[in-house]
Chain A
Amino acid sequence: YRLFPGEPKWKKSTLTYRVTKYTSSLSHADVDKAVEMGLKAWSAAAPLNFVKATSGEADIMISFQSGDHGDSYPFDGPRGTLAHAFAPGEGLGGDTHFDNAEKWTMGMNGFNLFTVAAHEFGHALGLAHSADPSALMYPTYRYQHPFGFHLPKDDVKGIQALYGSRQS
């Protein structure tokens, strides 16, 4: 695993998240479900809790965006870049953007939203890309089955290096 320079992390254990802009590829309920499962993958391994917000500013603002969307990292249409997220911090920190030009899916026919969301939330929590091909934080897309998903060892080590382990 790798951390961002300066090792930014959240100073609190309960974080808020909010989906501000949905995609037309999926129902709102499916997007909410994929996001919830993506966050749960991390909270199962570290002492973090996520609370959904429906208005105002949340720590992790989630949106589906097209092309140039005002953060200096424009999306490039279908395939190529699928999503990006910012390391923990004020303002843009923690925010997670998905390329609306992709075909998002809950299954395998397109890009699985849970797979990409779980990866991006790793960035939003402070993990950079891992060079371990078995890690969720490896940069290239590889489908992960959402049900019964457990973080690979490398990602567990990374998140626990930042936040410690979850006491059962």
Chain B
Amino acid sequence: YSAAAPALFALPRTTGWKDFYLAQEYLDKYYTPKGEHHLGEMTSGSNSMTRKVQQMQAFFGLRVTGKLDYSTMGVMKRPRCGVPDVAN
């Protein structure tokens, strides 16, 4: 991600790298069906992350932008259940 992220996954001004890594971890944990983990990341890189952000935003009724905006990060930082939101 370190090379691809700035171009393919534009971070809003309010989102720092710390949030980016937090988001990556969150999406891996709750929006990656088991078995897709490494394959998904290797083949589709940041596009896969954008897709997962969109999935997450749709689930939580947020504006679906695929970007790590303030409200998306807000939901990601809330304490929650560890069961993934996407089917395993």
Contact A133 B80 (CB under 8 A): no
Give the docked Cα–Cα distance between A73 and B29 (Å). 9
Give the docked Cα–Cα distance between A130 and B87 (Å). 12
Closest to B84 in A: A129
Contact B81 A111 (CB under 8 A): no
Contact B78 A141 (CB under 8 A): yes
Give the docked Cα–Cα distance between A83 and B83 (Å). 8
Give the docked Cα–Cα distance between A116 and B80 (Å). 9
Contact A81 B59 (CB under 8 A): no
Give the docked Cα–Cα distance between A140 and B82 (Å). 10
Contact A82 B87 (CB under 8 A): no
Give the docked Cα–Cα distance between A73 and B59 (Å). 22
Residues of chain B with a CB closer than 8 A to A120's CB: 81
Given A140-B78, A141-B78, does the pair A133, B61 have CB atoms closer than 8 Å? yes
Number of interface residues of A (CB under 8 A): 24
Cβ-based interface call for A148 (8 A): no
Cβ-based interface call for A131 (8 A): yes
Give the docked Cα–Cα distance between A85 and B88 (Å). 13
Cβ-based interface call for B60 (8 A): yes
Nearest chain B CB to A34's CB is how many angstroms away?
16
Give the docked Cα–Cα distance between A111 and B87 (Å). 26
Residues 68 to 121 of chain A near chain B (Cβ within 8 Å): 73, 75, 79-85, 99, 111, 116, 119-120
Residues 22 to 66 of chain B near chain A (Cβ within 8 Å): 29-30, 59-61
24 interchain pairs, CB-CB under 8 A = A73-B82, A79-B79, A80-B80, A81-B81, A82-B82, A83-B81, A84-B82, A84-B83, A85-B83, A99-B82, A116-B81, A120-B81, A128-B87, A129-B85, A131-B60, A133-B61, A139-B30, A139-B85, A140-B75, A140-B79, A140-B80, A141-B78, A141-B80, A141-B81
Give me the 9 closest cross-chain CB pairs, A-B, nearest first.
A84-B82, A81-B82, A140-B78, A141-B79, A140-B80, A5-B87, A139-B80, A79-B79, A129-B85
